[in-house]
């Protein structure tokens, strides 16, 4: 059984040696390096449409955040 996404759900994710917080909101998803305030946001429409540049944009955003 599934439930509607009507409030923010936050989870931690460890990639390599860095910890990230992923926030699932009703209109988008945001990933932020733990201890930081801002991170890239991706709308659900972009994910569902399978935007070809989505993967490259996310990687560039994470790399930019990792190397300020």
Q: What is the pLDDT along the chain (68 residues), one digit of tens a residue?
A: 888 888 999 999 998 898 999 999 888 888 898 888 888 888 888 777 776 566 667 777 777 776 66
Round the CA-based radius of gyration of the chain to a whole number and report it. 13
Cα–Cα separations (whole angstroms), residue 10 to 44, 50, 56, 65: 16, 23, 24, 19
Q: Can you give the pLDDT at residue 9?
A: 93
Q: Can you give the pLDDT at residue 26?
A: 87
Q: Can you give the pLDDT at residue 65?
A: 72
Q: Can you give the pLDDT at residue 11?
A: 93
Q: Can you give the pLDDT at residue 20?
A: 92
């Amino acid at each position: 059984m599934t439930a509607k996404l009507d409030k923010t759900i936050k989870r931690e994710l460890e990639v390599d040696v860095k910890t990230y917080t992923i926030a699932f909101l009703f209109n988008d998803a945001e990933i932020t390096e733990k201890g930081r305030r801002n991170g890239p946001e991706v709308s659900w429409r972009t994910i569902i449409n399978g935007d070809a540049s989505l993967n490259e944009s996310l990687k560039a955003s994470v790399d930019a955040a990792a190397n300020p």
